[in-house]
Structure 1
Amino acid sequence: MTQEEIKQEIRRLARERNALLLAHNYQRDEIQELADITGDSLALSMEAARTDREVIVFCGVHFMAESAAILGPDKIVLLPRPDAGCPMADMVTPEGLREMKARYPGAPVVTYVNSTAAVKAESDICCTSSNAVNVVNSLEADEVLLVPDRNLGRYIADRTDKTCHLWEGYCPTHDRLSVEDVQRALEEHPDALFMAHPECPPPILELAHHICSTSGMYEFARQNPAAKFIVGTEMGILYRLRKESPDKEFILPTSKLICPNMKLTSLEDVLKSLQTMSPEITVPADVRERAKLTLDRMLAVPRD
């Protein structure tokens, strides 16, 4: 089958199975082009919970499909590549988190949504990269535990009066971006604005004109009059940036900004998943209920 024939068959099967195709912002271009909805992990999971479709095909990594299963327990959630994991999410375990909690008794655990359901279930509240500071400041405690991303944790710590204890996890893709990469890009494009994801190390964020989530980058690029942007996050975001702002130029400061896990999912994988209705991602009821509480608490925090 040609790529176009595969796409047509995926669309036909999706209609037949009453399936919604979701793709994360870092997925391959052809996957994003095919998807019904693209977005960040939490937004997609919320779409999965809202839809009246019976089947969710989640083109992303494992913890994202888990989040969709947590928020939409009545749906069949398929992850075309179950081996698509997240190294940062794997850097913290429930056992390790329980040990950290024992060292700081009474301090609430604020866990980034980029984490497993089991870790969410050991936490008090979740956060995203865009609402993290609001979530931390909404808590009455003077001390908080921030899990698992040390870079997001440092970003939060610089913007709150609370004492922050950080788990030493990180995103390998964002951590590969160097100061030299960014400085070279800024020198080559002095008229460009540098926007960076808070998963980047602090020295990178110090160089940024704007720090925001992936969704924030789309909005910033659309609304800012600048014609050129240097992009400090995974390369998959370029597809939608260029689609939504075709008159603007988007530059990656390095070719190292690629997540191999996010690039695993192919059109053939999506087709096979719909044909076989597998692999299905489920979360045990006790874990799901506790993990959902952390997401519900986050969603109840007022936005700016």
Structure 2
Amino acid sequence: MKKMSAPQMSDAELVAGIKRMKQEKDIVVLAHFYVQDDIQDVADYIGDSYQLAKLATTTPQQTVCFCGVNFMGESAKILSPDKKIIMPDINAGCPMADMISSDEIERVKAQYDDLAVVAYVNTTAETKAHSDVCVTSSNCLQIVRSLPQKNIYFIPDVNLGSYIKSQLPEKNVILHDGFCCVHHKIRVAAVQEMIAAHPDYKILVHPEAQAEVVALGNVVGSTKVLLDEVKKNDAPGYIVCTEVGILHQMKKAAPGKEFLVPTRTQTCRSMKRNTLQKLYDAMHTLTPEIKMDEELMQQALRPLEKMMELAESKVSTL
């Protein structure tokens, strides 16, 4: 059955309605750093994918509206199976998450006795279910370093995997060829050109970017790490090598600073599928809802729990 949309309203009316329904229906709204600015402004919490999924487990509200892409809603449901997880656009997918299949994972497993399958948290529940441990861009070095296995199959992001490989030469990191369409398109020449024009600006790079771009970064880390750097650093400006959605929070954190992006293609179309109208509609109808097979949820939970266990002792972050 086709979902019915509410009558067309102005942005101000949508925002007022969203705020009202939060109270009336006891809904918490979580928004990823990469969604549109107006959604970030109306959300209760803003963060990266794993940070928000974990946060969903602690909020008192039993209904969570997750503004992001579908693997994020899955992670929230896996960690909070008793809560209702809804999304403004359940068809907002992550191309990188779809670049790996369970068949590929099992094929590599068959080739090595001493192997750990390490899945970036930016993956589907199906991929997580075939993995040994999940990692985020903040804890990947700490966790991979702590694993007893020498052979590491890192999936799906070749760029983050290459960064881990360069930092942990003692491990045999086997790379998959997946990539983030946004970060992969950031060109080293464009970054170098900006550095030449603004030599006193700090270069902030997400490790999903290509190795040549990562090598130029003054700070390399997760979206949250990059935002935290802006809050504490006194540089006059920043060259930001990640998705442009983070600029909204960076500008709030450091008003008066200049933020530059090297390429115009640093926009995730999937994240931008989340709109105020869709958020309003989801809260109004409490749909679409993330529903998952119980056995798959249990299998996908294991590597997430393993990640939390290994990350308990916070020794290092990207």
Q: Partners of 1:68 and 1:89 in 2: how far apart?
A: 16
Residue 7 (1) aligns with residue 18 (2)? no
1:234: which partner in 2? 243
The alpha-carbon deviation at position 2 of structure 1 amounts to 1.4
Equivalent of 1:250 in 259, 268, 284: 259
1:94: which partner in 2? 102
Q: Partners of 2:92 and 2:195 in 1: how far apart?
A: 33
Q: Is the 8 A contact 2:207 2:220 kept in 1?
A: yes
Equivalent of 1:208 in 205, 217, 223: 217
1:133: which partner in 2? 141
Q: Partners of 2:293 and 2:236 in 1: how far apart?
A: 48
Q: Partners of 2:236 and 2:119 in 1: how far apart?
A: 36
Residue 53 (1) aligns with residue 61 (2)? yes
Q: Partners of 2:85 and 2:103 in 1: how far apart?
A: 27
The alpha-carbon deviation at position 181 of structure 1 amounts to 1.1
Residue 190 (1) aligns with residue 188 (2)? no
Residue 194 of structure 1 aligns with an amino acid whose one-letter code is I
Runs of 4+ with >3 A deviation:
none
Q: Which stretch of the first structure deviates more once superposed, 11-20 or 146-155?
A: 11-20
Q: Partners of 2:155 and 2:69 in 1: how far apart?
A: 18
Q: Partners of 1:239 and 1:211 in 2: how far apart?
A: 19
Residue 303 (1) aligns with residue 311 (2)? no
Q: Is the 8 A contact 1:146 1:166 kept in 2?
A: yes
Q: Is the 8 A contact 1:117 1:283 kept in 2?
A: no
Q: Which stretch of the first structure deviates more once superposed, 238-247 or 100-109?
A: 100-109
1:23: which partner in 2? 31
1:260: which partner in 2? 269
Q: Percent sequence identity over matched residues? A: 38
The alpha-carbon deviation at position 104 of structure 1 amounts to 2.4
Residue 180 of structure 1 aligns with an amino acid whose one-letter code is A
Q: Partners of 1:197 and 1:175 in 2: how far apart?
A: 10
CA RMSD of aligned residues (A): 0.9
Instruction: Give the secondary structure class of the aligned counterpart of 2:302.
Output: helix
Instruction: Give the secondary structure class of the aligned counterpart of 1:103.
Output: coil
Match runs of 1:156-167 below 5 Å: 156-160=164-168, 161-167=170-176
User: What runs of 5+ residues in structure 1 fail to find an aligned partner?
Assistant: none
Residue 41 (1) aligns with residue 52 (2)? no
Q: Partners of 1:143 and 1:159 in 2: how far apart?
A: 15
User: What runs of 5+ residues in structure 2 fail to find an aligned partner?
Assistant: 1-8
Q: Partners of 1:106 and 1:240 in 2: how far apart?
A: 43
Q: Partners of 2:124 and 2:104 in 1: how far apart?
A: 13
Q: Partners of 1:107 and 1:34 in 2: how far apart?
A: 44
Give the structure-2-normalised TM-score: 0.94
Q: Which stretch of the first structure deviates more once superposed, 282-291 or 176-185?
A: 282-291
Instruction: Give the secondary structure class of the aligned counterpart of 1:108.
Output: strand
Residue 66 (1) aligns with residue 66 (2)? no
Q: Is the 8 A contact 2:187 2:262 kept in 1?
A: no
**1:183-215 Cα distance to aligned partner (Å, 9 max, x none):** 111122121111100000001111111101100
